[in-house]
Structures are given as C-alpha cells and as structure tokens.
Amino acid sequence: MSTSFPLPPECLHMVICHLAVESDRRSLASLLCVNKYLCSATLPVMYADPFRLRLFSVFSMEEPEKPFSLIKLLSLIKSLLLSLPEGQTVTDLLRAAYLHNASVSTSTDDKATAHQEQEAPPSIPATVATMTPIPYYSFLTHVEFEVHSFSEGIFDTPRFPSSSAIRDYLEKNGHVERYTWRDITGHLDYYNRSEIIYQTVSRDLRRDLTWALCVNGAERIQRLVIPISDISRYLAIVGRLQVLSYVTFLLDSDLKPTLFFGQQFEEGDREALELRQGEREGHMEEMILFVQEHCQRFPNTLTQGQCITDMFTTEEWPKEVHDRLFKSLPLLHKPQFIDNTNWGQFFAGAQDIDLSAVKFIRTRLIKPEEPVFDQVIEQVEPFLHRCRALEDVQISSSGEDAFRWAVDERKQFEREIEDGRATPSRRPLVPLRQLHISFDYDPSSGGLFDDTVFAFQETLENIFISISRTVEQNSTQSLEFSIGDNNNSNNYQSYWKLPQLSRLAVATGHIFLRVHPKFLQRCTQVMHISLVDMRWEYSLDQIDHWESAKLLRLESLTLEGTAAISFHPDTLKYALELQKLHLQMVQDEDDFTCFIPPVEELDAIIKGESTTDSGGSDSVDDGKTPSLLAPLARRPVWTWDWELPKLTDMTLIGEHAYRFQFKMLDGTPNLINLSLSIASTTARHQRTIHLKELTKPGSQQQQQQTHDGEEIYQEQQDLEYIFVPTLKHLCLFGSWRITTHVLQTLFSRVAPEISNLVMSSCLGHDFSEWVDATKQYLHGLDVAELQMDVSEEEMADAGLVEPMTGERMCGYRSVGHWLKETPTGRMLETPAWYHVLGT
C-alpha cells in the first residue's frame, strides 16, 4: 500500500477495472498523472485491452469526428510498436504504415523472399527518438483485430498509390506485382487490381501487427485472433500461450477467383489454385493441432474458440473444420451464455454440458438462413428446461411447444400452493425477463406466446415476437396469431398478470393478430407497445374491440392493422405519459393509399357517437340506416378530447385520420409532429376542415355568411383558437378541403411555428394562395412540399424561382424552388425550399 494513497491494492484494482469496463478514458488518463503508485496500478488495466477502450467511443458524443479518433488509434499503435524490445518483429510494412519517421531498411536484393514468411524481420534503429521507456506491450492481455478493425480505420491505409510511405515501400520491394499475382483475381480482373492491392496490404498489416504484439508478451495473452494464413508461427509458440482462454481463427482471404462473363482460367491458374487450396488445408490442420496441443499442455485453460471470416472474404469455413475444432475444445464449464461465440462448442456437447447457470441464449442472428436452435432439438434433445437461471432468450423458429415445460412447472407449483406445500416466496421457476422470438419458417398461432406469459408472468419485462413477411396468408384458410389465451385452450388455472412488462412488440405479417379484449388490462406497467399485422380490408362488424386499460406509464403506442381498429380509445384517458401515438392501416407501396370503410358506415358511426358511454354509442335510428347502426352498437366512442400533455408525435392513417377532430390538439400542448392521411383506395373519402374546428371547445363560433356558394368570414378578435406553439412538422395526405381563410388561420393562429410542411392532394385553394399563406405566416419555414400539377409560369406568378447552380451547390438541398423576395418577418437566414411534385 502506498503511504501517499492509503487504499488497499485490491480495492484500487477494482475501481480501475470498473473505469475500464465503463470505458471512462478521461478518468483513467487522470489517474496516470496523480503519482507513480497510481500510474503503475492503472497502466496494466488500461493497456490490457486498449483497442476496446479506443474503439468503443469512436462514434461517441464525446468524439463525433472519426478522423480525430483515428489519429488516436494510430497513435496507440505507434506507442505499442515503439515500446517493443529493440530489434524485434517490427517489419518494414509496419514502419511504413505507422512509423513514418523511423528509418526503413529495405532489401532490394532479395525480392523473391515472401513477405508473409517473415523469418528474418528487420530491426528498428536503436535510437532514443524511436524508443519509449514504458513497455506498453507487456501489459497486453487481449490482441483481437477482427472485422471491425478495418471499418474503424486501424488497417484502413490510403488506397494505393495515394500514400507515399506505403507506395514507396511496395515499389522498392517489388510487392506491387507480387500482391497482384498472388491473388488469381488480380491478373484476371485488371480494373480491380488497385482494390486487390489495398486489401492485401490491409491483411498483411493485421498479420504483422498481431504477431508483433503477441510474440513479445505471449505469456500474458488471454484472448487472441489468429489469421489462418499465419497459423504456423503461432503453432511454434503454443507452449508460451499458457493463459490463453479464448481463440478466434480468422479466414482472411478467398481462394477461388471471381470469373466474369467470358473469362477463363489462364495457363497455370488451375495449378496455382490447387496449390493454394493445399496450403489452406494445411493451415486448417495446423489450427486443429494448435488447439489440441494447447489443451494437452494446459488442460481446461483454453475454454472457447470460434472460426470467423473477415470483411473482404466471401468464402465460408468448411463445416467439418468447425466440427473438428469444437470437438477438440473441452466442454463448456457451466456457461452463463450461449450465443454466436460458443454456439458450435455448445452444439458439440449439448447433452453433457451443465446449463444450470445459463442466463441468456441468443441464436437469432447467428445465421438467419439456418434454424440452428431447431437443430439442437432435432439432433440432441430439448434443453431450455435445463437453463435454470435463464433471463434472456433470443431465438428463431423455436416451435409452438418450446416453453410447454415451463407451463407444466407453473401448474405444478400452483397445485403445491393450493395444497399448502409451497409459498409464492419460494417459487423455484426460471426468472425469464426478455423474450425475442422470430418465426422465419413456420407460422405460429400464438400458443408459444400464451405459454410464455403464463409461465413467466411475474418476471417478464420485454416481449418481441415477429413472423416473417414471406409467410403469406393461405387463400383458403384465415391464419391468426392469438395472444392472451383467447380460446382458453390451455386451461390455465390462474388469472395471470404481467406486472413487470415494459415493452411489448408483436409483428405477424400477413397473419391476422387477435388480442384478447382484456390483455392490456394485465400489463399495468407497460411503457412501449407495438402491435402490427398486414390486414388490408375489413368489415366493421368483424372486429373484436378491446376493453379500456389504465396504462399510467405508457410512453409510445404503435398499432397497425387489426390492432389499430380494435383499440379502445378510453385507454388514452389515463395515458398522461404518452409521447408517441401511431394508429394506422397498411398502405399501398406504390400510391400510399389504404383501405377506409365506406363513407356511409363511418357517417353512421359518427351520428351514433352522441353518448359518453364507453361501452358503445346511443344509436340515432331515423329509420334510414337501421342495418348500419345495429351491428355497430358496441363500437367504442372516440371523443377526441384527451389530455396528453407529453405527446410529441402523432400519426393517424386511414379510418382514424378520417374521423379525427382537431379539438384534440387543445390537449396536446407539446405536439411536434402531426401526420394525417385519408388517402383511400376508393378516393371517396374527403374531409372539409371548417374554421369552427380550429377554435377551442366552448369558444364562441365564427360568424359567417354565404355569397354565391362561398363562405365569407367576419373576424372576431376575442375568438379563442387552438394553439400548438411546438408543432414543427405537419403532413396532410389525401382529399383535405381547406379554404384559403382556414389555411391562413391554421398557419397564423393555430400552428405558426411550422418548419416542415407536406400537403398532398389537398383541395379548396390554389397554388398561389398556398404559397402566400406560407409566406405571410410561417416565418420559420424550412421545407414545404406540395403534390400538385403546377407549371413554371404558375410558380413564377407565385413568386418562386429556381436558384442558380452555385447557390444550389452551397446548400445541402440540391433541388426545389425558393421565394424570389425575402418575406417580411422571416426569422431564418436560409430561404425556405418549396418542392412541388406532380400528381
């Protein structure tokens, strides 16, 4: 313990390790400057895995500029290379790339010597200017340059021949021609030779740097990525890698060239290809020998291994090589996770591995085209029930009965409680918190969902279910995904609830999503809901309407398809935390129209909504529409008068937009984005926005007169309009009829702060009136878009001009028009852009 810093070394080490885990580089750097004691304790932790610390924040808010972070990465590599023992392993290529000021010893007499063999590497000049007194390399425990190393810029050298240092090195040593002809594609594809050279240089840099950092401190290396083409050197030092616990073998090049139309192998190409194939097979044999020898010398030290490919490689590892590697490794010892890093090793010994400590299983993204989860179940046995600490499951195509075992455990536990043999506090069930399942092959009817929520109801926090859109709806049979045990087919013994559920997302594609009417009532703490299917047309009497729920913590609600027309609006009475509300039907991909029920049906609903009874509407039977009102009596009432003080984003598409009442905006004082679309497939749905709709509820109505069929308004100064000062983005799609006076009132009194305006197919005003209204009242307008057939003459008459080429190049927007004269009251220095799209 230091007398100047009285903290036990163990505690100090824990503090520093925590800073490293959190990538708090500023604090770590500060510790280096306190005193020698803290510096000596910090350096081993900071440089154990330094590239993770650097790469973690390449795109952080702290360092948004990548070039600045890249400079730091290159500086780190330079410091590590300069700290290596004199005359050891630093090649000319490394000098040219990272040590530009160091002397480069080139050998032009022996150009035939292959660079990748590196048996007699040149030395660094022993000068004070090129040496650093601190052996940073000796602290390394992780040397892992994988695919991300290219994208983050460590080996992203300037493409040949733009870098003078790299160019001089390649030209003086004859590597340009060697790099080109070493890859058969290089002389078959002349135009891509520069790209081939770039890739080869990058790979050699990675090989050389990995070896230089590993060989000088092999006794400390715990995690290592070995390029398969360089395995021979590592096999020679396997006895020094005594603490290596995780190894990754990297397939770092392609063998077979890409042949374009009309191309053929030249003379000698097939022999060269067979020779390279033989070399590759030899490297893979050495890889297996490396693992076997390490496991024999240091039993139970090397616990995990995997095979991956780099970003330039299109070929895959042979499956038999994968299998041999995993069989050479010891069984996983009480793993806490199963994912792409150890899946193959788990698969090789699934029956014999102790899975009691597994907390999460993530196989969904290993290989989407292969149902790897099902392979274990089919070839070995079901295993989820053996994972007693399971908290997180992310799998694909698990089958409907994947959690039947959990249901049985739950039922047994409930029977024991009834018999007095157990108490809820001693519940021995799996504490599953997150479930993410995608059905990529066979559709699901919802049985797995119900099993899961029943079995893990006390602990579930996040549920994500998706069914591939490639699963088309059967033309002769209506497929449904039911959640909430609609049919009570499982005979569950308890009325379950989900008190911890925070996120619920279900996307069923072309399979109709049916939700139990009381399901949301069971999710009292849910914050985010997304329920989506691809239902297109529907009849109003076919919908099972949900019951209202008190979701006091709800922040975002996205409902599309069946869920949107099943939703009970009274739920919004209690959603004071709601920030995002999206209710929509499926839109056509070509013209962005959607199905809206016939106007007469919707008009009948509106007429019947004169009651405040949440269970339905009092039908107004005038003898004319009894057949329409009768089946709609139980349809929930949309009052559009909710107080949603935190709502910032609202999108309504289809029926909800057609029935929307603008008085709702009086209860959304913080709304920023509003999008309403009534563009229907029949083109029969038209809405007229009257001035009275923009006044606050209870305010004195505007007096108006009619002359020759047009309304003439008499302005009243004391009239109170709805005021939404935060509204920045307004989109109106479809046949909205808005007269000029209403348009002016909307922009001047209701939402004067609009900066982005989109209006498509709107009626009731001409182009010039629309431009004048935006010019006079929207002083902060940035972009305005209108879908209307407008000629250049009409644009000129409205005061719009197309900017000069130079003016367009200076801005970030390259098309459109702007006003010829700056409007009075304009608040922004940049002009507003007007984009007019023909219909």
- Rounded to whole angstroms, how far apart are CA atoms 182 and 276? 10
Q: What pLDDT, on a 0 to 100 scale, did the predictor assign at position 832?
A: 92
pLDDT band at 64 (very low <50, low <70, confident <90, very high): very low
Residue 314 domain-assigned (yes or no): yes
**What confidence tens digit (pLDDT) does each residue in 763-785 have?**
899 999 999 999 999 999 999 99
Residue 515 domain-assigned (yes or no): no
Asked if residue 432 lies in contact with residue 459, where contact means CB atoms within 8 angstroms, the answer is yes
Among residues 384, 399, 416, the one where a domain terminates is 384
Q: What pLDDT, on a 0 to 100 scale, did the predictor assign at position 270?
A: 77
**What confidence tens digit (pLDDT) does each residue in 121-150 have?**
333 333 333 445 788 888 899 998 865 554
Q: What pLDDT, on a 0 to 100 scale, did the predictor assign at position 671?
A: 98
Which position has the higher pLDDT, 791 or 777?
777
- Rounded to whole angstroms, how far apart are CA atoms 689 and 143? 66
**Residues 303, 358 share a domain:** no
**Residues 317, 344 share a domain:** no
**Residues 379, 298 share a domain:** no
- Specify which of 479-493, 743-757, 806-820, 821-835 reaches the highest per-range mean pLDDT: 743-757
For 125-150, letters b (16+ CB in 10 Å) and e give: eeeeebeeeeebbbbbbbbbbeeebb
The dihedral over CA atoms of 319, 325, 330, 332, expressed in degrees to the nearest 10, equals: -50
**Residues 247, 312 share a domain:** yes
Q: What pLDDT, on a 0 to 100 scale, did the predictor assign at position 50?
A: 82
Residues facing residue 712 across a β-bridge? 705
- Around Cβ 616, how many Cβ atoms within 10 Å? 16
Q: What pLDDT, on a 0 to 100 scale, did the predictor assign at position 22?
A: 63
| pLDDT > 70? residue 711 | no
Q: Provide the residue type at 160 as one letter.
A: F
**Residues 378, 306 share a domain:** no
Residue 343 domain-assigned (yes or no): yes
pLDDT band at 733 (very low <50, low <70, confident <90, very high): very high
**What confidence tens digit (pLDDT) does each residue in 670-693 have?**
999 999 999 999 888 999 999 999
Report the chain's terminal Cα–Cα distance, integer Å: 79
**What confidence tens digit (pLDDT) does each residue in 591-634 have?**
889 999 988 887 766 655 543 344 333 333 444 433 333 444 46
Pair type for strands 673-677 and 649-653: parallel
Residues 6+ apart with CB under 8 A from 309: 147, 250, 251, 252, 315, 316, 317
Q: What pLDDT, on a 0 to 100 scale, did the predictor assign at position 393?
A: 93
Mapped onto helix, strand or coil, the DSSP state of residue 431 is coil
- Rounded to whole angstroms, how far apart are CA atoms 223 and 240? 14
- Rounded to whole angstroms, how far apart are CA atoms 345 and 328? 9
| pLDDT > 70? residue 746 | yes
Task: For 655-796, list the strands marked E by DSSP.
Answer: 673-677, 686-688, 703-707, 710-714, 729-733, 735-737, 756-760, 783-787
| pLDDT > 90? residue 741 | yes
Which position has the higher pLDDT, 341 or 185?
341
pLDDT band at 575 (very low <50, low <70, confident <90, very high): very high
- Rounded to whole angstroms, how far apart are CA atoms 548 and 535? 22
Which position has the higher pLDDT, 704 or 451?
451
Residue 616 domain-assigned (yes or no): no
**Residue 747 token pair:** 């922009």
| pLDDT > 70? residue 416 | yes
**Selection from 598, 730, 721 nearest residue 658 by Cα:** 598
**Residues 324, 221 share a domain:** yes
**What confidence tens digit (pLDDT) does each residue in 513-537 have?**
999 999 999 999 999 999 999 988 8
**What confidence tens digit (pLDDT) does each residue in 246-256 have?**
999 999 888 87
| pLDDT > 60? residue 700 | no
Residue 833 domain-assigned (yes or no): no
**Residues 303, 233 share a domain:** yes
**Residues 322, 289 share a domain:** yes
Q: What pLDDT, on a 0 to 100 scale, did the predictor assign at position 200?
A: 80
Average pLDDT, the chain: 79
Which position has the higher pLDDT, 475 or 132?
132
**Residue 502 token pair:** 């925070």
**Residues 288, 226 share a domain:** yes
Asked if residue 384 lies in contact with residue 405, where contact means CB atoms within 8 angstroms, the answer is yes
- Rounded to whole angstroms, how far apart are CA atoms 442 and 398? 9
- Give me the sign of the Cα torsion angle 386, 392, 397, 403: positive
Q: Provide the residue type at 43 as one letter.
A: L
Residue 262 domain-assigned (yes or no): no
CA distance to 654, 670, 743, per residue, from 667 (Å): 22, 9, 21
Among residues 384, 403, 423, the one where a domain terminates is 384
**Selection from 795, 798, 797 nearest residue 816 by Cα:** 795
Q: Which domain holds residue 251?
A: 217-255+268-330
Asked if residue 731 lies in contact with residue 674, where contact means CB atoms within 8 angstroms, the answer is yes
Q: What angle do CA 505, 507, 510 make, to 5 degrees?
A: 165
Residue 735 domain-assigned (yes or no): no
Residues facing residue 422 across a β-bridge? none
Rounded mean pLDDT of 361-367? Answer: 70
Rounded mean pLDDT of 188-215? Answer: 78
pLDDT band at 558 (very low <50, low <70, confident <90, very high): very high
- Rounded to whole angstroms, how far apart are CA atoms 308 and 328? 17
Which position has the higher pLDDT, 22 or 215?
215
Asked if residue 609 lies in contact with residue 552, where contact means CB atoms within 8 angstroms, the answer is no
Q: What pLDDT, on a 0 to 100 scale, did the predictor assign at position 607?
A: 59
Residue 48 domain-assigned (yes or no): no
**Selection from 306, 141, 329 nearest residue 228 by Cα:** 306
Among residues 302, 330, 358, the one where a domain terminates is 330
Rounded mean pLDDT of 111-116? Answer: 35
| pLDDT > 60? residue 457 | yes
- Rounded to whole angstroms, how far apart are CA atoms 546 and 770? 42
Q: What pLDDT, on a 0 to 100 scale, did the predictor assign at position 272?
A: 77
**Residue in the structure block whose two tokens are 């367009």:** 808
Q: What pLDDT, on a 0 to 100 scale, did the predictor assign at position 35?
A: 74
| pLDDT > 70? residue 2 | no
Rounded mean pLDDT of 713-732? Answer: 81
**Residues 238, 226 share a domain:** yes
Number of structural domains found in the chain: 2
Q: What pLDDT, on a 0 to 100 scale, did the predictor assign at position 722?
A: 95
**Residue in the structure block whose two tokens are 């609600």:** 557
8-state DSSP, 40: H
3-state SS track over 348-409: HCCCCCCCCCCCEEECCCCCCCCCHHHHHHHHCCCCHHHCCCCCEEEEECCCCCCCHHHHHH
pLDDT band at 180 (very low <50, low <70, confident <90, very high): low
Q: What pLDDT, on a 0 to 100 scale, did the predictor assign at position 492?
A: 53
**Residues 362, 326 share a domain:** no
**Residues 244, 234 share a domain:** yes
- Rounded to whole angstroms, how far apart are CA atoms 124 and 88? 8
pLDDT band at 57 (very low <50, low <70, confident <90, very high): very low
pLDDT band at 802 (very low <50, low <70, confident <90, very high): confident
